[in-house]
Structure 1
Amino acid sequence: MSAFLTPFTLKNGKISKNRILKGAMSEQISRGNNPSDAYVTLYDRWAKGGAGVLVTGNVMVDYRALGSADDVVIEDERDLPMLQRWATAGTQNDTLLLMQINHPGKQSPKDLSPKPVAPSAVPLSGNVGAFFNPPRALSETEILDLIQRFATVAQIAEKAGFSGVQIHAAHGYLISQFLSPHHNQRTDKWGGTLENRMRFLVEVYHAIRQATSKDFIVSVKLNSADFQKGGFDEHDALQVAQKLAELGVDLLEISGGNYESPTMLEGVKASTAQREAYFLSFAEKVRQVCDIPLVVTGGFRSEQAMNDAVNSEMLDFVGIAKPFALVPDLPNQIAEKRYQAVQTKPIRTGVNKIDQTLGSVLEMAWYMHQMKRLSQGKNPNPNLTAWRLLFSILWEKGTAGLRKERA
């Protein structure tokens, strides 16, 4: 049996039936920011597909702060019955289902946030800056409120039947902003030293632990680096990983980049492409300093690469995202010896100006379209062209549909 098809016991004692984790992807199938039947249908399909762990896309903790127009938001138990149906669908077949919980901070588009909040009043820069309003700095009272909001969502997730949560501390969202010395220029206990900059993440973790049972999984998604001058770097990330291990975090997912430096949406080095996974080198470094269970998401396509990564003991879980939008039963196909490596290709129109401007937007929208089809009980459409997708977006949402959004 392939190594990544064997069980794994998390720190809190929960057992994943295999080492395949479906990474978070922004589904964007809610309406009115509420969970719906579409999520039930989508996660029913994925749970039956054989993954050990499923991680949902962004679930925001505050209606006033959206990363995308169609994010699911939880503030109270008003949607508990639908959340219970979602959890039931996603935990069938002995699957662990983690709700990814998040706050966008200043990464909330202009039309959604007239005055977004952030650790400091530092605007986003570069080409993406025009898409977001300058933020204002959070007060300490607001920081404490946000910590409790994360805990409240986790408590509701457990009540609904989710196996756990994943705290999104990557990709330039609010917790990532707190960690970055570029974005966090506070002079109080929430900024300055790395100990202070990681305080928000640590307090969110403690609040969730206090609000949930010991059997509830608490995971974290962390950048290996922001890949931004003066930002959160690899040295910082290793120290945060060590702290999370000391705290008892059940699973750490490694990623990288943010809106200003979107590594996950761009090409990778030839040496990285050969091993397929984007952040294996950093995983090796984490292994040297702490024993926290690790998952690396991004790049895995072939069974050989997945097996080599687990056999190397550099990671404990293989994280796979985009292929699940095209092959929802990917783990079952591997177990049944009928899997063929998913060949994903850039979604491009062939017109340089359009592709340079909208390439990453079309890429994400293409996979969202596949997930939407799955949520409707249909099969994916791998033959969908970039032009057809572009016209469909403009017809349904106008230019608002071309905002930069990411997982």
Structure 2
Amino acid sequence: MPVKRYDSSIVDVAPLGQPLKFEFSGKVAKNRFYKASMAEDLASWNVEDLEERGIPTKELIELYRVWGENEWGVIATGNIDIEFDMLDAIGDSIITPECPFSGPRFEAFQELAKAATAHGSLVVGQVTHPGRQLAARIRKDTISASATQHPPKNGIEYAKPRAATKEDIARVVDGFAHAAEYLDKAGFDGIQLHGAHGYLIAQFLSETTNQRTDEYGGSITNRLRLVSEIAREIKRRVSPDFIVGIKVNSVEFQEKGIKPADTRILCETFQELGFDYVELSGGNHEDIGWGTKKDSTAKREAYFLEFVRDVVPHLSKTKKILTGGFRTTAAMVDALDILDGIGLGRPAAQEPRLAADILAGKVASAVQPVDGVVDDVWLSLSSAGSQMVQIVRGQEPFDLSNPKLAESFKKDLAAQIGKIIAANGSLEIRGFPELSDPDATSHPYGVPY
């Protein structure tokens, strides 16, 4: 059956092909497409030997080679953690302050950067610390802005947090800054601080999770202190032309988060710190914020566009990129009236060639998954993960608009969840579902459905 795509009016896509200059670093992206971060689960993993964790594998490097040859202006990696035992997910890449600028890990990061940038794309490493979103099966204790436990969610138990001490904070600052210097020396074009989706930086930014009474809590200026210290230390260590970006969260701008009145201070601080761009997103582990629950949101297409309109007036030199819901060229081009870049995540797993095909006029929109996929966050993210595995195996990602293949994948996901439950917290279990339908794996990469 033919692939089903979202309906889009025909528009001139030339604005999407315009270069984007980042004012502080001076780097120039060749177009406005931003391949947003996704969990790849393709780095090395070792249960016993921590130092064997988080090294980019040949499979991960191949994934970035494929994206790199397909006209993405900027390619952001999945999470790169700054501790071996405080990581967002098994299979993340890892750079800790102890990692030297030489050896197998460093060489693997060099290979990844080379693969991603071979055709003119820029590559930035998204660096993160999970804070209270650390799964308890990885480690039982963790740090956060305050000792606010993350409630169990979707069968996941979270580590017990304590309020970070000054020594903990110094370690975090050093971790982000060392990762930036490491990426710079390895040939990356920049770093993105993950300050969204409920991770540690977001935990300091939000009043919901930051109940501190010292200089890191209270006012928005104080809650920004961790970001400020990280950014200044990064700038001290990296090359002048190294991009520094940050991802922030629409959820944190709501009640009990960052109040709308604080957005001006937040944005002005980002510009003062020399952030080249802000990627605007939404959601956290408690409420991911994706989907089309409101009719107005569905019509608007980009889930967080209302949030963006509050932020944009306060940013000039710092570029604005939005990730979350873009699926048609009509909406993308229209959004460039207030944005500088268009972030695409899951569509880039379904179609690594999407940016190239849009610019070449081959397609006007992304593949439209069958009903229920987009609004089921674990189904949607897991399918993207399995599609990325297919790419590195030389297979065309299975077509989520095909009801038969989508239904088969739901069964594969259920089987994977069953394995995880049966493993009872074992760290040996990792990865995305294996596909059982032969038709889902029978198309060589580059031979579309």
1:390 is aligned to 2:414? yes
Which residue is 2:94 aligned to?
A: 73
Aligned residue for 1:241, secondary structure, equals helix
Overall identity of the aligned pairs, in %: 33
Structure 2 counterpart of 1:370: 387
Structure 1 position 131, deviation (Å): 1.6
Partners of 2:309 and 2:164 in 1: CA distance:
36
Q: Please tell me whether residue 41 in structure 1 is matched to residue 67 in structure 2.
A: no
Do 2:292 and 2:298's aligned partners in 1 also have CA atoms closer than 8 Å?
A: no
- Counterpart of 2:361 in structure 1 is 337
Partner Cα separation in structure 2 for residue 47 and residue 377 of structure 1: 15
Conserved? CA contact 2:151–2:158, under 8 Å: no
For 2:40, which of 6, 27, 31 is the aligned residue?
27
State the alpha-carbon separation in 1 of the partners of residues 245 and 226 from structure 2. 15
1:272 is displaced (CA, Å) by 2.1
Residue number in structure 2 paired with 1:278: 303
Of residues 239, 252, 261, the one that matches 1:235 is 261
Is 1:4 equivalent to 2:16 in the alignment? yes
Q: CA deviation at 1:361?
A: 2.3
Deviation at 1:396, TM superposition (A): 7.7
Check the 8 A contact 1:224/1:233 in 2, yes or no: no
Cα deviation for residue 289 of structure 1 reads 2.1
The residue identity in structure 2 corresponding to 1:65 is M
TM-score (norm 2): 0.82
Q: Aligned-pair distance for 1:376?
A: 2.3
1:116 touches 1:134 (CA, 8 Å); kept in 2? yes
Equivalent residue letter for 1:22: K
- Residue of structure 1 equivalent to 2:445: none
State the match for 1:90 in structure 2. 116
Deviations 1:162-218 (A, max 9, x none): 110100001100000001112111111111111111100111111111110110000
**Partners of 2:75 and 2:366 in 1: how far apart?**
19
CA distance in 2, matches of 1:305, 1:263: 20
- Where does the alignment leave 5 or more consecutive residues of structure 2 unmatched? 1-12, 46-53, 400-404, 432-449
**Inter-partner Cα distance in structure 1 for 2:33 and 2:81:** 25
Q: How does 1:146-225 map to 2 (within 5 A)?
A: 146-225=172-251
Partner of 1:57: 78
Q: Secondary structure at the match of 2:134?
A: coil
Q: CA deviation at 1:224?
A: 2.5
Task: Give, in whole Å, the separation in 2 of the partners of 1:233 and 1:10.
Answer: 28
1:361 corresponds, among 378, 396, 402, to 378
- Separation of aligned partners in 1, 2:253 and 2:273: 26
Partner of 2:289: 263
Report the structure number with the largest CA radius of gyration: 2
Q: 1:35 to 1:268 in 2, by over 3 A?
A: same
- Structure-to-structure mapping, 1:94-113, within 5 angstroms: 94-113=120-139
Deviation digits for residues 27-75 of structure 1 (CA, Å, limit 9, x no counterpart): 1112212211111100010011111000001000111201112211112
Q: CA RMSD for the aligned pairs? A: 2.4
Contact residue 76 and residue 125 of structure 2 kept, 8 A: yes
Displacement, 1:241?
1.8
Q: Is contact 2:133-2:199 (8 Å) kept?
A: yes
Paired AA for residue 194 in structure 2? H
* 2-structure distance, mates of 1:230, 1:284: 20
Q: Tell me how far apart the structure 2 counterparts of residues 316 and 155 of structure 1 sit (CA, whole Å).
A: 26
Paired residues in the alignment total 394
Preserved contact between residue 225 and residue 237 of structure 1 (Cα < 8 Å): no
Q: 1:140 to 1:211 in 2, by over 3 A?
A: same
Are the counterparts in 2 of residues 115 and 135 from structure 1 also a CA contact under 8 Å? yes
Match of 1:327 in 2: 351
CA distance in 1, matches of 2:350, 2:420: 23
Task: Summarize the Cα distance change of 1:114–1:189 in structure 2 as closer, same or farther, 3 Å threshold.
Answer: same
Are the counterparts in 2 of residues 223 and 237 from structure 1 also a CA contact under 8 Å?
no
Alignment of 1:115-130 (within 5 A): 115-125=141-151, 127=153
2:324 — aligned with what?
298
1:283 to partner: Cα distance: 2.1
Farther-moved stretch of structure 1 (228-237 vs 328-337)? 228-237
Length-normalised TM-score, structure 1: 0.91
Match of 1:352 in 2: none
Q: Which residue identity lines up with residue 321 of structure 1 in the other structure?
A: G
- Give the C-alpha shift of residue 101 in structure 1: 0.3
Tell me by how many angstroms 1:285 deviates. 2.2
CA distance in 1, matches of 2:32, 2:114: 21
The separation in 2 between residues aligned to 1:341 and 1:221, in whole angstroms, is 25
Residues 197 and 50 from structure 1, CA distance in 2 versus in 1: closer, same or farther, beyond 3 angstroms?
same
